[in-house]
Amino acid sequence: MTQIGQPTQPAFVLVRPQMGENIGAAARAMWNFGLDRLRLVRPRDGWPNPAAGALASGAGRLLDEATLHDDLAGAVADCNWVLATTARPRELTKPVLSPERAMQLAAKRIAAGERVAVLFGPERTGLENDEVARANAIITVPVNPAFPSLNLAQCVLLAAYEWQRQKGGFAHEIDRPGKHHWATAIEVEKLAQHYEERLDQAGFFFPEAKAENMKVNLRNLWSRMRLTQADVQMLHGIMRQMVRWKERGD
């Protein structure tokens, strides 16, 4: 159980959550991104709550292992750094962080041996000022100011996603050739030669004064295309078939 020993991730603390369904959805959002340290402070409908399991959808272990606390002080008693999520402006002097920056700092502190907690308030009102006052910093999401309210699971999902990004190995772009290999330079060169020869025979490079520049542009076209070996074979086949069709027509 990951809550025993030195943690390698932050604890997510749901403060006075109202509906079991939302607790289950929050657990699901956490487990989507590999987080499983869930703490509950005075759930409105008591705990355990059968309604939570239906929305957890495969993350039921988090509900089984969640720790229950009578107050916020007890829920964060072992933590060195506490973050409070809120969408409302607060008249409190605290650092205000984006989810990305908050999780960057959380990752550094946890790597240094500290324990970190992230607080999420109840669905209807969010965290109270005295609860936010216990935190070392605030996480605020740049939402639409005319409609800043996020439901509990959405807020948990945002924080969990940013945590996953900070763990490293997050691919911002994946460029794979599928089941085929990328074409080599010589394969693309032969394709270019094939098309240039056939187009030349068809009289495509006309007028002669522009022919050389047209060939350069065609070569540039091939170099800009990310071709697999299967793509090259298909393009060769297209040109061969077009030539055969023309010859049969003649």
5-38 pLDDT, tens digit per residue, is: 678 999 999 999 999 999 999 999 999 999 999 9
97: left (phi over 0), alpha (psi -120 to 50) or beta: beta
What is the pTM assigned to this prediction? 0.75
CA 222, CA 76: separation in Å to the nearest integer?
Answer: 60
User: What confidence category does residue 142 fall into, taking pLDDT thresholds of 50, 70 and 90?
Assistant: confident
The DSSP 8-state label assigned to residue 233 in this structure reads H
State pLDDT tens for residues 188-202: 999 999 999 999 999
User: In order of start, what are the domains of the chain with their CATH numbers?
Assistant: 11-166 (3.40.1280.10), 185-249 (no CATH)
Has residue 218 got a pLDDT over 50? yes
For range 69-79, the mean pLDDT: 97
Phi, psi of 181 (to 5 degrees): -95, 155
pLDDT of residue 125: 83
The DSSP 8-state label assigned to residue 15 in this structure reads E
pLDDT of residue 157: 96
Average pLDDT, the chain: 91
* Pairwise pLDDT comparison (180 vs 65), residue with the higher score: 65
Nearest one of 153, 149, 156, 91 to 118, comparing CA atoms = 156
* Pairwise pLDDT comparison (125 vs 21), residue with the higher score: 21
82: left (phi over 0), alpha (psi -120 to 50) or beta: beta
Q: Is 209 helix (H, G, I), strand (E, B) or coil?
A: helix
* CA dist list (Å): 128 to 22, 68, 90, 204: 19, 19, 10, 74
User: What confidence category does residue 215 fall into, taking pLDDT thresholds of 50, 70 and 90?
Assistant: very high
User: What confidence category does residue 178 fall into, taking pLDDT thresholds of 50, 70 and 90?
Assistant: confident
User: What confidence category does residue 175 fall into, taking pLDDT thresholds of 50, 70 and 90?
Assistant: confident
CB burial string 153-163: b at 16+ within 10 A, e below: bebbbbbbbbb
Q: Which residue has the tokens 């910093």?
A: 137
pLDDT of residue 2: 43
Q: Which residue has the tokens 């542009």?
A: 217
